[in-house]
Chain A
Amino acid sequence: MTITDTEVTATPIASPAPTRRWRLWVAAAAPLIAALLVGSAAILWVGESPLEFFWLLVREAFGGVKRISATLVSSTPLILTGTATLIAFRAGVFNIGVEGSFVGGAFVAAIAGASLDLPGPIQIVVVLAIASIVGAAIGWGPGWLKARLDVDEVVVTLMGNFVVSGVVGWLLSEFFMAVGTGNAQTELIAPQTNLPVLVASTQLTIGILFAVVVVALAQWWLRSTVPGYELRMTGANPRFARAQGIDTARVIIWAMVISGLIGGLAGGVFTTGTLHRFVEGGGANLGFNGIAIALLARLNPIAIIPSAVVLGALSAAGPTVQLFIDVPLDIVRIMEGTIMIVAVLPLLTRSR
């Protein structure tokens, strides 16, 4: 430790609250505004009307029960991976590995769902529990390395994603390929493993309820519990946390375990609620997109839901909009990309 001659610094005076709130709103809306501007420019470029396009987008995303259901189906895994990312980020741990937990969870849920045969709801609970535990284990490794050996978590989790998808791909092709298919996919899970459908003749399952409950739990846990408080203090200033007696190494490991657990659950819900089997490449990037969701929500749990719904709406409505207007699907992808880039900007400029 080196003690430097710290000079007296001018005391900061808080800017008046209204200004700060106003700034907060602008910062929160910036990714959306940027996406609308970039999207409009691209649509004008191809010679169509942005207004008509956006109107169609809103109609296809939210016009009627079926459309809303489709949007929520797309949003469900994003809410969960966004929350998973948020927990780690709030602890000051830049976990890029929710993707790995998601893929691991999705895979083991498919294996367990196809090989177990327990009565109804118990089967679902057991399968999701297994997926969560595997996800948690995938988060634990980098957490332990960071907390005990000070290994950079960004590199480990990013590389860990490739390890997980490599291992899963190998297990799949070697042991778990569905019989009589050329695709890299597992057998369908047992029927009682499928999450109950919430709205008849749609794909919307109780998975969305799980997601909302997880968000509510995360909010409560961060705000109202002692471990949640210690996690936030560690993320805000680890030196301060340590000086106040918080075991920051433990906090970091637990943050990674919980982040991985929610990521694994997200994979489990995706398998049991959407694909009903594991397909290699299915659900790819849902874990990564959780980073954008968490940042779009400015690490506020409740804001995860609208953020995920916006991106879910784009990905659900995008493909059908082009049936009505001569605008390529790529425009929607451009808008998604813009949202993510602008949302991730603070992460890139953040001093770590």
Chain B
Amino acid sequence: MNEPSAPADTPRLEVRQLTKRFGPVVAVDHVDLVVERGTVHSVVGENGAGKTTLMKCIAGLLPPDSGEILVDGKTVRIGTVHDALALGIGMVHQEFSIVGELTLAENLVLGVEPRHRGLLDRKAVQRATERLAAQTGWRLQWEAPADQVGVADLQRLELLRQLHRGADLLILDEPTAVLGPAEVDMLLGTVTELRDRGVTVLFISHKLDEVMRISDRVTVLRGGKVVETTAAADTSAAALAEAMVGEALTVPDVEDRPSSSDETILEVQDLVVVDEIGVTRVDHVDITVRRGEIVGVYGVAGSGQAELAAALVGLAPSSGSVRLGGQEINHRPVGYRRRAGMGFISPDRRSEGLALTESVEENGLAGAHRDRSLSGRVVRRRPEWRRRIADLIRSYSIKVGSPDDPTSSLSGGNQQRLVVGRELEMHPKLLVASDPTRGVDIEGVAGIHELLMGIRRSGGSVLLVSHDLDEVLSLSDRIAVMLDGRVTAVLDRAEATRSLIAEKMTTGSRG
């Protein structure tokens, strides 16, 4: 570990007025952050609040546009991961980078192998593992192949790797997202142990109860700005949640909202989604959406809302009952559900919402491509496609050179309008809109909101899954709050206040 070259009361890390832009979007906006030596400092915020971008700037993965980073009181320039490591800063990412066939010890030194006459110096590797064991008190099966040990040990290995490389300031980017509950407990224990041995930890998470359990200090980011920094002892999960979701920017617009009809369009009962590694992501959820109604689904990221949306559309296997207009559609394939009247806006525009290499025309009519108006049994009516895409481009004001251009040539906002337009033109009974405004500028957001309200006015229904509480509050008739895969409350528009939602998304009805 690095010898402290500064007095013990100098912060281990200090960030001053750091700013990072991506095109017109300011991801990190004049952020100040002080991390004291030997503490666990958590950074919390919604998706897109700028947490990961900020960390990447500190770890040498992204160059900041302006601002200063001080390590042990000295201004530094961190251009690469190596620069960061030389200053004792190491970042552990969500996905493990581990070679399954190699032993834990071999993985530990991978990339910085000690050599003896050109071969791996086994004795030096052993000394390293012993030193780390003494330093942390952890016993790992160093000679076991990595694919034969549990996920919790692999996560420890990732931490040890950074320590081995000389890091004593660890940045953990949502380390619990891939873990089951028992492993989460182990990891949190691990982090505390490291802190007690003098390691400084920057902990990134949206899981507020975890944050409360291990942090000394907490910084809340919202929209790229620091909202507050407090000692963990002086705050609570609910208070943090309130800070994360923020004050209402505008009073939710209650306008002319004729009461939605009583006809149930979507009825979900007892829906359960278990992911590939066996973690229950959606836990016995019931939800209904009536005709002419927008139902918002909100919770901290990773509470199961994305999996709920995927399961409804047929992209994630699930058990339970899903009825669309009275017809049972669970266990039916996506195409069947779409023909039955389900539309879907993917939260992942670039890798699921669009085929970026293909033309605007072929993206804009995908899903409707088997409609009798567009295609015969076998042959596509190309002139009809051409006419329809021209209409779509005009109706949704999509800026595009030619319908034959690859979709990648469109700006992010125009790509999203293409997705939204495509789904609306299929006139779905129910539109599952998952983060429909992600990565869209403010003007674009307003346009998409207007389109969603238009669906409602014309008697369509929307299940709006969003990480943006303002969006959920201003559009929804009812709001379902999720926590740990369960719906903890369904609130009517009138009763849904920020503080009530903040309470339900952190404590809910957890027993």
Q: Is B379 a contact of A224 with CB atoms below 8 Å?
A: yes
Cβ–Cβ contact B370 & A226, under 8 A? yes
B18 in the interface (beta carbon within 8 A): no
Indicate with 1 or 0, residue by residue over B51-91, a CB within 8 angstroms of chain A CB atoms. 11100000000000000000000000000000000000000
Nearest Cβ distance between residue A2 and chain B, in whole angstroms? 6
Q: How far is the CB of A186 from chain B (nearest CB, A)?
A: 38
Q: Distance (Å) between the CB of B293 and the closest chain A CB?
A: 24
Distance in angstroms from A16 CB to nearest chain B CB is 10
Report the stretch among A22-30, A106-114, A132-140, A238-246 that lies at the interface. A238-246
Instruction: Tell me how many residues of B have a C-beta within 8 Å of chain A.
Output: 66
Provide 26 A-B residue pairs closer than 8 Å at the C-beta atoms, listed in order of the A residue.
Answer: A1-B316, A3-B177, A5-B47, A6-B348, A6-B438, A7-B52, A8-B27, A14-B406, A226-B369, A227-B378, A230-B369, A233-B358, A237-B351, A237-B356, A237-B357, A239-B351, A240-B352, A240-B353, A240-B354, A240-B355, A242-B315, A243-B353, A245-B334, A245-B339, A246-B334, A247-B333
Q: Determine if B51 and A232 form an interchain contact, defined as CB atoms under 8 angstroms apart.
A: no
B174 within 8 A of A: yes
Q: Which of B209-230 contact A (CB under 8 A)?
A: none
In the bound complex, what is the Cα–Cα distance between A302 and B411 (angstroms)?
32
| Contact yes or no, A237 B52, CB < 8 A | no
Contact A229 B51 (CB under 8 A): no
Of listed A5, A229, A242, residue having the most chain B CB within 10 A: A5
Interface mask (B170-184 → A, CB under 8 Å = 1, otherwise 0): 000110011000000
Q: Is B417 part of the contact surface with A, judged by Cβ < 8 Å?
A: no
Residues of B within 8 Å of A241, CB to CB, are 355, 366
A268 to B350, alpha carbons, bound, how many Å?
A: 44
Is B380 located at the chain interface by the 8 A CB criterion? Answer: yes
Residue of A nearest to B333 (CB): A247
Partner of A232, one of B310, B358, B408: B358
What is the size category of the interface that chain A forms with chain B? 20 to 34
- Is A201 on the interface with B (CB-CB < 8 A)? no
Residues on A lying within 8 angstroms of B by beta carbon are 1-14, 224-227, 229-230, 232-233, 236-237, 239-247
Chain B, 84-120, CB within 8 A of any chain A CB: 94
Q: Is the CB of B355 within 8 A of A237?
A: yes
In the assembled complex, the Cα of A345 lies from the Cα of B173 at a distance in Å of 36
Tell me if A10 and B367 are in contact (CB < 8 A).
no
User: Do A3 and B306 touch (CB < 8 A)?
Assistant: yes
Decide yes or no whether B201 CB sits under 8 A from chain A.
no
Chain B residues in 8 Å Cβ range of A12: 408-409
* Known contacts A8-B439, A243-B346, A246-B335; is-contact A3 B25 (Cβ 8 Å): no
Does B298 belong to the interface (CB within 8 Å)? Answer: no
Set B47, B302, B379: member contacting A6, Cβ < 8 A: B47
B281 within 8 A of A: yes
- B residues 331-350 near A (Cβ < 8 Å) are 333-339, 344, 346-348, 350
Q: Is B425 in contact with chain A by the CB < 8 A criterion?
A: no
Q: How far is A14 from B338 in the complex, measured between Cα atoms in Å? A: 32
List of B residues within 8 angstroms of A6 by Cβ: 47, 348, 438
Q: Which of A11, A239, A244 contacts B23 (CB 8 A)?
A: A11
Residue from A7, A13, A237, A239 with most neighbouring chain B CB atoms (10 Å):
A7
Contact A240 B366 (CB under 8 A): yes
Complex: how many Å from CA A247 to CA B335? 7
Evaluate contact between A5 and B310: CB separation under 8 angstroms.
Answer: no
CB pair A7 B53 closer than 8 Å: yes
Question: 3 shortest A-B CB distances, which residue pairs?
Answer: A14-B409, A245-B335, A237-B355
- The contact string, 1 if C-beta is below 8 Å from chain A, for chain B 407-431, is 0110111000000000000000000
Q: How far is the CA of A14 from the CA of B414 in the complex (A)?
A: 13
* B residues near A236, Cβ cutoff 8 Å: 355, 357-358
Q: Tell whether, in the assembled complex, residue B378 and residue A233 are in contact, meaning their CB atoms are under 8 Å apart.
A: no
Taking a contact as CB atoms closer than 8 A, the residue among B366, B382, B438 that contacts A224 in the complex is B382
7 more contacts with CB within 8 A, not counting A5-B47, A11-B413, are A3-B347, A6-B348, A9-B22, A11-B412, A240-B352, A240-B354, A244-B366
